[in-house]
Amino acid sequence: MPRALHSRSPAVSDPHSDLPTVVRRSSSGLGPSAPVLQVRRPMASYGVSFAPVATAVHVLGVLVLALILYWVIAFRGGVTLWGSAPALIFNAHPVIMFGGFIFVSSEAILVYKTLSGTKRSKKLVHMSLQAIAFLLALVGIWAALKFHLDSNIDNFYSLHSWLGIFTVVLFFIQWIAGFFSFWTQSVAGSTRAAVLPWHVFFGIGAYVLAVATAVLGFLEKITFLQSGSLGHYASEAMFVNTVALLVVVFGFVTVLAILIPAPKEEDGYQAIEMGDLLHFSMA
């Protein structure tokens, strides 16, 4: 949205709506003083500010990553990406899928509200972090695949693995679509406006799917172990259940951070407000 649109003139009433209407004057695109009539939608208010929720995302992310590392080291014999111990290579899978894929992607999603700077610099950080998350997801999946191949176990038979493949394919498509729509801006402005809500929708969808896939992964691993020598109420089983629950809490808090409106910046740029779609900006 051009900066001039942020200087609002007083609200006028719209007889056909109970929502207040504002007349804005634009100095770009529509002529020096063309009025732009927009309906102001009420902004979603959750009664919490963004900062503590963002802090909770950072803290919970580090905590969950530390707990997963503790699990694979204290209970599962360690973790590696090299060497001839397939079980230890598998252990890199949960570590990377949460720490590298889900956590990095969460931070990427929050960048528009946590970083200050120009819009283009925020886009650069957002898309770079999403690219890193995607590449790390490939490394994490490779670890599970290598474990299977080295141990003569079938591949891609479980719902977890199907959802996992679906998630990373969705991420890939989302990245490519985001790159050409918002970075190279290869499409018309009106198309960008139409794409943006879908970008947010599929971005949240892919993210939630990643969290669900990870939870299924924990369930699958602990069920494998419980069908062996691990007791139903063994401390390892309870520990992993707790970690999976914390992953769910982490996902909830991240989605809340997306929905909470960002604090206004001085240059007038504001990240998307979900209840305020008319205010999307794509410059």
What's the one-letter identity of residue 140? G
**Binding of residue 281 to ligand HEM (CB under 6 A):** yes
Buried b (16+ CB within 10 A) or exposed e, 243-255: bbeebeebbebbb
Which is closer to ligand HEM, CB of 61 or CB of 178? 178
* Given 183, 197, 235, 249, the residue binding ligand HEM (CB under 6 A): 183
Nearest alpha carbon to residue 165 among 173, 174, 175, 156: 156
Which region, judged by CB under 6 A, interacts with ligand HEM, from 7-15, 30-38, 58-66, 106-114? 106-114
One character per residue 126-165, x = contact with ligand HEM (rule: CB under 6 A): xx--x------x---x--xx--x------xx-x-xx--xx
d(CA 263, CA 175): 26
Smallest gap from residue 11 Cβ to ligand HEM (A): 24
* Given 26, 56, 136, 218, the residue binding ligand HEM (CB under 6 A): 218
Which region, judged by CB under 6 A, interacts with ligand HEM, from 9-17, 23-31, 45-53, 121-129? 121-129
Smallest gap from residue 83 Cβ to ligand HEM (A): 18
Which is closer to ligand HEM, CB of 25 or CB of 123? 123
Cβ atoms of residues 93 and 59 within 8 Å: no
Outline where DSSP puts E strands in 13-83: 21-26, 34-39
d(CA 35, CA 258): 31
Task: Say how many residues touch ligand HEM, by CB under 6 A.
Answer: 51
Half-sphere exposure of 131 (CA within 13 A, CB side): 10
**Binding of residue 206 to ligand HEM (CB under 6 A):** yes
CA distances from 174 to 28, 102, 105, 191, 222 (A): 30, 15, 12, 16, 32
Which is closer to ligand HEM, CB of 58 or CB of 123? 123
How many other C-beta atoms are found inside a 10 Å radius of the C-beta of residue 26? 18
* Given 100, 178, 251, 261, the residue binding ligand HEM (CB under 6 A): 178
Cβ atoms of residues 89 and 139 within 8 Å: no
* Given 64, 195, 258, 261, the residue binding ligand HEM (CB under 6 A): 258
What's the one-letter identity of residue 272? I
* Given 182, 195, 250, 254, the residue binding ligand HEM (CB under 6 A): 182
* Given 101, 103, 129, 251, the residue binding ligand HEM (CB under 6 A): 101
Q: How open is the CA angle 110-114-120, to the nearest 5 degrees?
A: 85
Name every residue whose Cβ is closer than 8 Å to that of residue 101 and which is 6 or more positions away in sequence: 133, 134, 136, 137, 140, 210
Smallest gap from residue 54 Cβ to ligand HEM (A): 10
Burial of 154 (0-12, 13-18, 19+ CB in 10 A): exposed
Please name the residue that has the structure tokens 């299924």: 216
Residues at the interface with ligand HEM (CB under 6 A): 93-94, 97-98, 101-102, 109, 112-113, 123, 126-127, 130, 137, 141, 144-145, 148, 155-156, 158, 160-161, 164-165, 167-168, 171, 174-175, 178-179, 182-183, 199-200, 203-204, 206-207, 210, 213-214, 217-218, 220-221, 258, 271-272, 281
